[in-house]
Amino acid sequence: MIALMLKDWYVLVRQSKFTMAIVMVFTCIGFMSSTVYYAAIGTIVCVMLPLTTMAYDQMNHWDQFVIGLPIERKDVVKSKYVLALLALSVSILMLLVFGLVFFLLKRITLETILFMIWIQLFAGMFFISVNYPIVIKLGFERGRIWYLIITIPIVSLAGILNSVVNSNGVSISASLGNFIYLIIPILMLIGSYFLSVRFLENKDY
């Protein structure tokens, strides 16, 4: 699995500098406007990176090459999920760094930062859980249609909720108790991983 992570690392370093800049911009805008929506977009862009590597793999036939190597198929899936979680961690780290800066500037409260982290974890894991099995099963070309069908309504809903919350003057707040709800995307993520393994193990090239 380390070999696969190393390969994706080389690919991401070469291909994703611009994407990381976008993530930083969205996270920054999120804090400047105290809008969770932008921060969530930053997260989704971040966890899209491993999905992008899957697209590159399929476009350039690495996905077939790797099956000929002495690597178990479940390790191929595992590497993508680990990479996705690493990407999610990077986006959370960025959020923390920006959050602390804005907190020190007295622009936001610690509760807002906590809430944003909660939303990011939820959105990120949900996105990974839904999209990764689809792309593994159908390939990126066909899978991206489903990806759009699923992602656009979720992002739109998040935007609508955000504007409703803002327009009604409800303050953004969170307590540590809210994190218990993360059990839902965590369970989804575990289920999604096993589903993806099953899809790849039954896949014929």
Partner 1 sequence: MDAIRCIGLKKKYGDFSLYLDNFVVPQGTIVGLIGENGAGKSTTIRLLLSLTSADEGSIELFGEAVDRCNVRHKDLIGFVMEDAWPSAYLNAIQTGKVMEKVYTRWDATCYDKLLDRLSIPKEKLFKQFSHGMKMKLVLAIALSHHAKLLILDEPTSSLDPMTRDEILSILMEFTREEDHTVLISSHIISDLEKISDYITYIHQGRIILNSEKDQLEQDYVLASCTHQQSFDLDPSTILGRKDTPYGAKVLMKCEHVPDFMQRQQFNLEEMMILLAKGGTIR
Burial 30-67 (b: 16+ CB within 10 A, else e): bbeebbbbbbbbbbbbbbbbbbbbbbebbeeebbeebe
On whether the CB atoms of residues 39 and 119 are closer than 8 A, the answer is yes
11 binds partner 1, rule: CB under 8 A? yes
Cβ closer to partner 1: 6 or 182?
Answer: 6
Q: Measured over all CA atoms, what is the biggest interatomic distance in the chain, rounded to whole angstroms?
A: 58
Report in angstroms how near the CB of residue 125 gets to partner 1 at its nearest.
27
Site string (110-139) toward partner 1, x via CB under 8 A: ------------------------------
The stretch among 54-62, 92-100, 117-125, 153-161 that binds partner 1 (CB under 8 A) is 54-62
Of these, 17, 18, 68, 180, which contacts partner 1 (CB under 8 A)?
68
Q: Which two tokens stand for residue 191?
A: 């289920």
CB of 13 to partner 1, least distance (A): 9
- The residue among 71, 90, 86 whose CA lies nearest residue 1 is 71
Task: Report how far residue 91's alpha carbon sits from residue 23's, in angstroms, rounded to the nearest whole number.
Answer: 8
Nearest to partner 1 of 57, 189 (CB atom): 57
Contacting positions for partner 1 (CB under 8 A) = 2-3, 6-7, 10-11, 14-15, 56-57, 59-62, 64-65, 67-73, 201, 204-205
